Structure 1
């Protein structure tokens, strides 16, 4: 198993499980965690319009558009194993997230918008964007971008964008902070897990690389 996948799974899996189990057991520390970060996020008023725009760009349907754009570009470049990789990773993650939502059945914050229906944990917006961000960071950028400086800047920009998506979901009361943190942990773990399995099914050769 690749070191990057070991790190993604080794960090993502325990964090996700701790949050999921704590939410299911209604652990008291979860309320303190959520209250602290909800207050922190809402210290700056007047950002509702901006946050709604960010949350729209991370909508689960829009995530599928980003995924398809990346997959189509890779397919055109005849990088079909990589093209299929991001499709399978995102679709399976969304399916797993749906199952977890219906197992845990956590209600959303009381002030959530009407458009945000369904259960709260994990956040579908954050999970989908986490999959795309971590897939780019762990799989595509290291191969495509040769400059180490450019890679670092891309990593920083992608992480900032993911954090903004997480903040936006809390700001508009669509999710609790523990929901978006759990989604991010699940996303990192899922990318590492699927990439490990994918390497066994379609070994990376010079033909499959950029």
Structure 2
């Protein structure tokens, strides 16, 4: 019943892109032996709900304490451990600010990884709950539309910005076929928060 309830958002044509549409397309593109790494807040919360690896040991994330910034290191290790598998790193734009320069290591050592940034211009895991509890948020906004794809291109990889749902699937095909570190900078809807049933302590 839960999966059926998700179907509409997995196919959403909304612009800015709903984060679940990203996963709707990614799930169709993943091989059974793919390694998926989550490094982020709200954007990766959707992944934790929707991405179910087909084999053990094929999902990595920073753990329950929010230690963001581990994703690029995990991606490097996963690529070395699984040289013939798809390696996909899912980054929130906040998390991208903590470790994206390590795409230089991927490029220098010829380690192809597909990096997907859910770029909503905010620390979404903080912004939404603050609004819910206090009616406003502070220090939760990032610069809208930052070109994380250009960062990876500048470091020797490749990438592109994705602004509409129809662009996601072709961009994923290009990324997986590229043979280089490739970043999809997907502009997502800041108001499409991950649904939570608690605000914590």
Q: Same fold (TM over 0.5)?
A: no
The normalised TM-score by structure 1 is 0.34
The normalised TM-score by structure 2 is 0.35
Larger Rg: 1
Higher strand share: 2
